[in-house]
Structure 1
Amino acid sequence: MAACLRAVDDRPVLIVASVCGGCGGRVFSLEVNASAARRECRGCGSRAFLADSEEFWGEERWEDDVPGIAECPCGGERFESAVAFSLGEDGAVRWVTVDLRCEDDGFAGVYTDWKIDYRPTGRLPTLS
C-alpha cells in the first residue's frame, strides 16, 4: 500500500494500514465523500471512521456531498486500505488521504482526501 501514496510538496507523510480492531481483518467496504470515510470489515462487519471522519459524518454535514460506496473501475467493492497523513513543519497533520487497493484486480488509487485546519492532530493517525 505504501507504494501507492506519495508525499506532496516534499512534506513528510505517515502511512498507516487499516486493520480491523475487532478481528484483525484487512479487507473492507468503504463509504466515502470529500471530507470523510467509514470502513466496514468484510470479515466481522464492524465499522470504523477514518481519521476525523466521525466529526463530519451525518446528513446535516453532507449538503451536496452524500457519501457513496467506494467502487473500483472493475466493479469490485472489497479493498485493502491505507491512510496517509501529510505532516506540516510542526509535525501536525495537514492532509488526510485515503488510498484503496481492490481485492479483485489490484487497482489502487486515492479515493478521497481532505485538509486538516485545526490543532492538535496527534490522535488522527491512531484512527485509521
Structure 2
Amino acid sequence: LVVGDAAGFVNPLSREGSNFAMISGKLAAETILEARAAGDFSAFALSRYWQKLEESFILSDLETIRNVTPFVHQRPYLLREYPEALARAFQHYLTVDGTPKAQKYRAIVRELMRDLRPTRLLRDVLAGVFQLVR
C-alpha cells in the first residue's frame, strides 16, 4: 500500500500534502490491521484501502485540482510574474520613506496595473476558476 506523496497525494496548488500523508497512512494502517485480524492479505482484502481513500476527502480533493498542473504549465509566468509583482508591492508598502499612505496606495495600484496587466489577470482568474469547477 502506497501512501502520502509517494502515492502522488500532493496538492500542486497549495503544496499541501502532509494532511494527505497522515490520513492515507492512517487508512493504510487500518486496512492492514483489518487484514491481519481476518488473516487475509489478498489483493481483494487490501483493496479496502482504495475504498477508504474514496470515502475520505483525499481523492475528492485531488480530483478537484487535477487540472491545476496543466493550467500552470500553460502559464509559467503565474509562478514568476505574479509573485514578483506582489512582493514589490508589499516592499513598497512596508518601506518607511515619509510618503503619505494615500500616495503610496496609488503608486502601488499603478505599479500592479502595469506589471500584472488587468486583462490578462482577469483572463487568468476566470480560466483558473473554470479549470477548478470542470
TM-score (norm 2): 0.21
Larger radius of gyration: 2
Whichever structure has more strand as a proportion of its residues is 1
Q: Which has the higher relative contact order, 1 or 2, with Cα contacts under 8 A spaced 6 or more apart? A: 1
Whichever structure has more helix as a proportion of its residues is 2
TM-score (norm 1): 0.21
